[in-house]
């Protein structure tokens, strides 16, 4: 069972891998959510209808449990003493920290895909995005909650820091510790199916705040230089006023109000019921996890436990060797092969063997010549494992017997020790091999990649839902668009320079590009459009502007949103949507401009919007490219970096000022272009962030991919930059057709390294 959660955890982590969440995965999530045994102490409301008044009772129950559970863990871990924690206490603290890691390293990640271009102007989504931006430390690299926890792990000498294969395959972390984060991450990839449950679960976790086991571990073993308050999911983040719990409550209330307004009493009641169900489920799940971790922590205080886990973890490999060495009359290799017989016989025989001097680890051959530089077991054990063996030997009675009581008089911890065998021996088979990537379906023919097809695909691409067919279309459309952008690149004017300057970066080039725009405006080359022409051009831009920032939606992913280069892109996306302020949300401002022109468009995600008769098919060509390329934030990372720079720089100093003149001339609001001309500025705005993101990405590239890769990646960034205005004409289309066919024939989408 626990291997399922390790595997699900890995599949759900993949930013481009939602298709790897199969039907069985989603069915399992629904089954977990539908568990009807409620032990929260608050009624389910069955038969009375969902009632928001139940929420305060659930919050109180979570707070009460959290306080009691923290005290239970403190009793096991022990109170902090005047000096540093002893080896036994340190080992227990490390075990607790490791088992908190799958959840704590992804704290808040379950919100990562709730926002999408189709819903980014709605209040509930903006409230969620405010909370999520706080979780990832919007605007600062490596400022997410997970990075804070990584610092804590490093302070305790723990190396399993990054969510991924290393963490999921760690023999130090129990399988049950992956259940809750795996289910939460799986839900995050399907917000269309699980949004109210995600919001309810989030509010529960914010109410719990600092995990009880973690609170006790920090008190017992030290904080490792990390502020404990920074690990509280319900607390404030550096530089923010509102705390996580308040932001979560605001998102919950906005969602329920929205459901009541859109769907009426019955729809609102159903949404409330599901949200409360998500809260209850999360509380049950975290209580069950905490109960098992409490037992694990209690067991780890026994000296035999750590060394037996070590033996069990190494048994499969060790059984191949040691056939000549006898332990209690049996070859040591047989002991390893028969490890499932239990710890008592093996540990007793080992304690009485010549390898061990009870009470004297420094004189024991096992920790001396055998593991020394010239010994047959050199580098077999890590420093932490050697410390475990040292502690076990030091606590052995000098008469050589293991610390087990006589048969029939076992204490409760020892009975638990033996009962735990079944879970220990599953560690080897429990570990997942890694993520699997779903291949892209054969790409559509070039004839299918028309502007009419783009219009038809627009609505499906607005959300986070995925199918193999949609994924295939998106990849083929983006590939063909980028291939066309590559045509005659060397002859194209006003492009990025042929080579990237590692000493000066892009800031000087950016300043020159801004000068070009300003010179163009000063020369007065723009022709003032008529009122009808202005209204029509503004309308035709609506499918694009209503998804402002949509090319960056892949960078809401938790692993990208606070990375060294990705944090610039998430910050830009967050800024395009108004930083949670409705009146600053760019799509809403553009809607207001269109209403001022006498045009009242339907909601962006509705069929009525994409079918709006006033739109020409060509109006959906660029939006479809944005939405297509954004689904592959790793495959097309360099191209997205270039596109982002082109988009943010496109109007600054020039065309935005031209548009302002036209809008003012015909008596329309200039707020939209005024806002963009300031926030996209080349000194401290989006254009500067875009250049800095490219510089950061390329500067880190040699350390990840090795030397010699920067020119290749820079060429792809240049293509992405040109993709905002790709060449047209028959020659460019033919070139794109031939090149995209060759690309799709020779390779599937591949990921560039995550920086």
Q: Give residue-wise pLDDT tens across range 384-423.
A: 888 888 888 888 887 655 554 433 334 444 444 444 444 4
243 forms beta bridges with 236
Please state which of the ranges 10-19, 189-198, 200-209 shows the lowest mean pLDDT: 10-19
CB 629 within 8 A of CB 639: yes
First to last CA, the chain: 33
Q: Is pLDDT larger for residue 25 or for residue 161?
A: 25
Which domains, ranges and CATH numbers included, belong to the chain? 2-10+53-301 (1.20.910), 306-430 (no CATH), 446-746 (no CATH)
More confident residue, 490 or 73: 73
Pull the structure tokens for residue 430. Answer: 């429990």
| Mean pLDDT on 58-80 | 92
Tell how strand 326-327 and strand 330-331 pair up. antiparallel
Of 126, 396, 81, 409, give the one whose Cα is nearest residue 258.
Answer: 126
Helix orientation angle between 412-419 and 343-351, rounded to the nearest 10 degrees: 110
- Residue 214 contacts residue 177 (beta carbons within 8 Å): no
**How would you label 607-636 residue by residue, b for 16+ Cβ within 10 Å and e otherwise?**
eebbebeebeeebbbbbbbbbbbbbbbbbb
Instruction: Look at the pTM and tell me if it is higher than 0.95.
Output: no
- Provide φ and ψ at 258, rounded to 5°: -65, -40
Q: CA dist 404 to 4, 417, 535, 671, Å? A: 34, 10, 85, 77
Distance of CA 352 to the CA centre of its chain: 49
pLDDT of residue 517: 65
**Torsion, CA 241, CA 242, CA 243, CA 245, rounded to 10:** 170
Percent of the chain with pLDDT over 70: 86
Kindly indicate the confidence band of residue 753, based on its pLDDT and cuts at 50, 70 and 90: very low
Alpha-carbon span 195 to 444, nearest angstrom: 32
Region 632-656: mean pLDDT is 89
Residue 79 binned pLDDT confidence (cut-offs 50, 70, 90): low
Report the run of H or E that residue 330 belongs to, with start and end.
strand 330-331
Q: Sorting pLDDT into bands at 50, 70 and 90, what band is 5?
A: very high
* 2 pLDDT higher than 70: no
Sign, CA torsion 338/343/348/354: positive
Predicted confidence (pLDDT) at residue 691 exceeds the cutoff of 90: yes
For range 357-374, the mean pLDDT? 88
More confident residue, 431 or 16: 16
Q: Which is more confident, 523 or 111? A: 111
From the number of C-beta atoms within 10 Å of its C-beta (0-12, 13-18, 19+), residue 753 rates as middle
Residue range 220-246: mean pLDDT, rounded:
85
Dist. CA 206–CA 643, nearest whole Å:
37
Given pLDDT bands bounded at 50, 70 and 90, which one contains residue 650? Answer: confident
User: How far is it, in rounded angstroms, from Cα 148 to Cα 520?
Assistant: 47
């Amino acid at each position: 069972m626990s291997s399922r959660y390790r595997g699900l955890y890995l599949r759900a982590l993949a930013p481009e891998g939602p298709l790897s969440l199969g039907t069985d995965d989603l069915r399992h999530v629904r089954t977990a959510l539908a568990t009807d045994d409620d032990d929260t102490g608050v009624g389910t409301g069955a038969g009375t209808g969902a009632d928001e008044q139940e929420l305060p009772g659930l919050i109180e129950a979570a707070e009460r449990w959290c306080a009691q559970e923290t005290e239970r863990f403190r009793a096991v871990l022990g109170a902090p003493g005047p000096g540093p924690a002893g080896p036994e206490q340190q080992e227990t603290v490390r075990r607790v920290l490791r088992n908190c890691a799958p959840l704590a390293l992804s704290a808040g990640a379950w919100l990562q895909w709730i926002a999408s271009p189709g819903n980014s102007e709605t209040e509930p989504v903006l409230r969620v995005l405010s909370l999520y931006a706080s979780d990832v430390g919007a605007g600062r690299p490596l400022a997410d909650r997970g990075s804070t926890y990584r610092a804590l792990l490093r302070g305790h000498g723990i190396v399993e820091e990054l969510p991924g294969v290393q963490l999921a395959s760690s023999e130090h972390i129990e399988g049950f510790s992956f259940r809750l984060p795996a289910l939460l991450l799986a839900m995050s990839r399907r917000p269309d199916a699980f949004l109210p449950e995600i919001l309810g679960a989030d509010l529960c976790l914010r109410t719990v705040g600092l995990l009880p086991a973690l609170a006790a571990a920090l008190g017992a073993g030290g904080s490792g230089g990390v502020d404990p308050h920074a690990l509280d999911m319900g607390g404030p983040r550096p530089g923010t006023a509102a705390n996580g719990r308040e932001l979560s409550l605001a998102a919950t209330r906005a969602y329920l109000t929205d459901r009541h307004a859109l769907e009426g009493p019955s729809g609102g009641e159903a949404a409330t019921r599901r949200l409360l169900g998500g809260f209850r489920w999360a509380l049950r799940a975290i209580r069950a996890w905490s109960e098992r971790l409490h037992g694990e922590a209690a067991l780890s205080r026994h000296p035999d436990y750590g060394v037996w886990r070590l033996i069990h973890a190494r048994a499969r490999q060790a059984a191949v060797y040691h056939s000549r060495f006898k332990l209690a009359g049996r070859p040591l290799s047989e002991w390893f092969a028969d490890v499932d017989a239990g710890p008592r016989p093996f540990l007793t025989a080992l304690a009485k063997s010549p390898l061990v001097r009870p009470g004297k680890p420094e004189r024991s051959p096992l920790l001396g010549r055998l593991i020394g530089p010239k010994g047959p077991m050199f580098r077999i054990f890590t420093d932490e494992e050697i410390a475990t063996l040292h502690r076990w030997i030091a606590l052995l009675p000098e008469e050589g017997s293991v610390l087990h009581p006589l048969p029939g008089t076992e204490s409760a911890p020892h009975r638990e020790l033996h009962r735990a065998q079944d879970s220990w021996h599953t560690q080897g088979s429990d570990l997942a091999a890694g993520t699997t990537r779903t291949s892209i379906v054969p790409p559509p023919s070039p004839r299918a990649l028309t502007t009419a097809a783009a219009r038809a695909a627009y609505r499906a691409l607005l959300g986070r839902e995925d199918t193999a067919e949609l994924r295939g279309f998106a990849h083929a459309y983006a590939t063909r668009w980028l291939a066309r952008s590559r045509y005659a690149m060397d002859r194209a004017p006003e492009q990025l320079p042929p080579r990237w300057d590692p000493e000066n970066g892009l800031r000087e080039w950016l300043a020159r590009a801004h000068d070009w725009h300003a010179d163009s405006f000063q020369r007065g080359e723009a022709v003032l459009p008529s009122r009808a022409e202005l209204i029509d051009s503004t309308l035709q831009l609506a499918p694009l502007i209503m998804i402002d920032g949509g090319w960056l939606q892949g960078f809401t992913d938790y692993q990208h949103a606070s990375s060294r280069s990705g944090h610039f892109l998430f910050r830009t996306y967050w800024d395009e949507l108004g930083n949670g302020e409705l009146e600053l949300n760019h799509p809403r401002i553009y809607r207001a401009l269109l209403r001022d022109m006498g045009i009242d468009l339907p909601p962006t995600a509705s069929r009525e919007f994409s079918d709006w008769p006033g739109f020409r098919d060509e109006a959906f060509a660029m939006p479809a490219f944005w939405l297509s390329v954004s689904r592959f934030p790793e495959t097309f990372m360099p191209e997205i970096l270039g596109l982002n720079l082109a988009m943010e720089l496109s109007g600054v100093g020039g065309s935005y000022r031209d548009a302002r003149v036209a809008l003012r001339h015909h008596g329309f609001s200039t707020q939209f272009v005024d806002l963009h001309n300031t926030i996209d500025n080349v000194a401290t705005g989006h254009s500067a962030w875009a250049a800095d993101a490219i510089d950061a990405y390329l500067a880190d590239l040699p350390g990840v991919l090795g030397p010699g890769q920067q020119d290749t990646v820079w060429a792809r960034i240049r293509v992405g930059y040109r993709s905002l205005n790709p060449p047209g004409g028959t020659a460019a289309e033919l070139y794109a057709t031939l090149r995209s066919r060759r690309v799709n024939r020779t390779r599937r989408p591949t990921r560039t390294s995550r920086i």
